[in-house]
Structure 1
Amino acid sequence: MTVDELTLTGERADLLAALGKARHFLRFTTRDLTDEQAATRPTASQLCLGGLIKHVTEVERGWAAFILEGPSAMGDVTEVTPELVEQRTREFRLLPGETLAGVLAAYEEVARRTDDLVARLPDLDATQPLPSAPWFEPGARWSARAVLMHIVAETAQHAGHADILRETIDGAKSMG
C-alpha cells in the first residue's frame, strides 16, 4: 500500500499535512520559471530557487536517513572546513547541467519516501543521538517526531525565502 492508500489519523496525519503544505508553497514558488530564472540570485543573499529546492531535498533526505540509521547517516563534523563550506555553497546553487525539473523530481522522490517513513515508522518516540557537530549540543538525542518537526520547520522557513526570491525575480507571489 502507498501512503495515499493508507488512512492516517492523529499525529501522523498532522505531520504529513504540515509537511505537505510547506512543500507545496516551496514548489509553488518555482511555477513557470525557466532554468535560468531558477538559478538567478536576485537578492543580496546567495540563494536561488533551484538551490533552495536542492538544499531542502538534501536536508529531508539526510534527516530521514538519520531516523532510520542514526548519526552515521549524517556523519560527524569536528570543524567547519573550507571543503564543507564549499559543499554547502554548491548545495544552494543550481549548477551547470542541473535543471529545475530535475531538482523538483528529486525532491518529489525524497518527499514520497519521507511520507512513507512517517506512515510506517513503528515509534515516533524512538530517539537517536545527534552526530557530533559544532551546532548540536553534545550528547543530545532527537526523537523521530523531533526530526520530522525539524523537517517541517526547515521546509517552511525556506518556502518563505523562496517567496521573497520569486517576488524579486518577476513580481509573482505565492499568496496574496
Structure 2
Amino acid sequence: MTTATATTTATELSDLLGTLALHRGFLRHTARDLTDEQARQRPTASELCVGGLIKHVAETERSWLRFAIGGAELMEMPDYSSDQDRDWGADFRMVGDETLEGLLAAYEETARETERALQDLDLNTAHRLPEAPWFESGASWTVRRVLLHLIAETSQHAGHADIIRESIDGQKTMG
C-alpha cells in the first residue's frame, strides 16, 4: 500500500469511526440523568425503551464487528442455542437486574473493542452475508459497508430513544 493510499484509508476510517462516535454520543446523551425505572419505561405506542435500545445497539455492534472480523460464521450469537429459543423482544427491554449504568458501561466497552479491532482490518475486506430473508441471497458486505450500517443503525435508534425520552420527561437530545 502506498503512503497516499494508507493515509486516505486512515482518514476514511477516522471519519467513519468519528461519525459512529457522534451518534453513539447522541444515544448516550438521551439517557443522561434517567433512573433505571425511567430507562425501562415504554411511554409510546412502541415496545421500545431507552435502556433496551442501548442494549440492542451494543449487541448489534458486537455482532457486526464479529462479522467484519470473520464473516457470517463468527457473527452468530454464541449465547443462544437457536433462534427459535431466543426471546427477541428481550433484546429491546431491560430485563432482570439490568441497570442503565451497566448497559452504558457495556456499550462503552463495545465501542472501544470496535475501534481497536477496526484499526487492524482492511475496509475493502468482504464477507458473504448470512442467509436471512432481509439480505439479498449470496450478497457480500465489506468492512466499510458494515461501518456504514452501524452508523445508520445507531442513528435510527438514537432517534427512537429521543422520542421516548421526550415522552418520559420532555427532555430532548437536541433543541
- TM-score surpassing 0.5? yes
Indicate the residue corresponding to 1:18 in structure 2: 19
Indicate the residue corresponding to 1:126 in structure 2: 125
Indicate the residue corresponding to 1:67 in structure 2: 68
Match for 2:72: what amino acid?
P
| C-alpha displacement of 1:9 | 4.7
- Alpha-carbon separation, structure 2, partners of 1:73 and 1:90: 22
Indicate the residue corresponding to 1:103 in structure 2: 103
- Alpha-carbon separation, structure 2, partners of 1:82 and 1:42: 29
Indicate the residue corresponding to 1:135 in structure 2: 134
- Alpha-carbon separation, structure 1, partners of 2:74 and 2:34: 34
Number of aligned residue pairs: give it: 164
Moved over 3 A (4+): 81-84
| C-alpha displacement of 1:13 | 1.0
- Alpha-carbon separation, structure 2, partners of 1:118 and 1:15: 11
Indicate the residue corresponding to 1:146 in structure 2: 145
How large is the Cα RMSD of the aligned pairs?
1.9
Three-state SS of the structure 1 residue aligned to 2:115 is helix
Answer yes or no: is the 8 Å Cα contact 2:123–2:142 preserved in 1.
yes
Indicate the residue corresponding to 1:158 in structure 2: 157
Three-state SS of the structure 1 residue aligned to 2:119 is helix
- Alpha-carbon separation, structure 1, partners of 2:99 and 2:150: 24
Kindly tell me: are residues 46 and 82 of structure 1, through their superposed partners in 2, closer, same or farther at Cα, counting changes over 3 Å? farther
- Indicate yes or no: 2:28 matched with 1:27: yes
Unaligned 5+ runs, structure 2: 1-6, 78-82
TM-score (norm 2): 0.88
Indicate the residue corresponding to 1:4 in structure 2: none
Answer yes or no: is the 8 Å Cα contact 1:50–1:103 preserved in 2.
yes
TM-score (norm 1): 0.88
Three-state SS of the structure 2 residue aligned to 1:142 is strand
Identical counterparts, % of pairs: 56
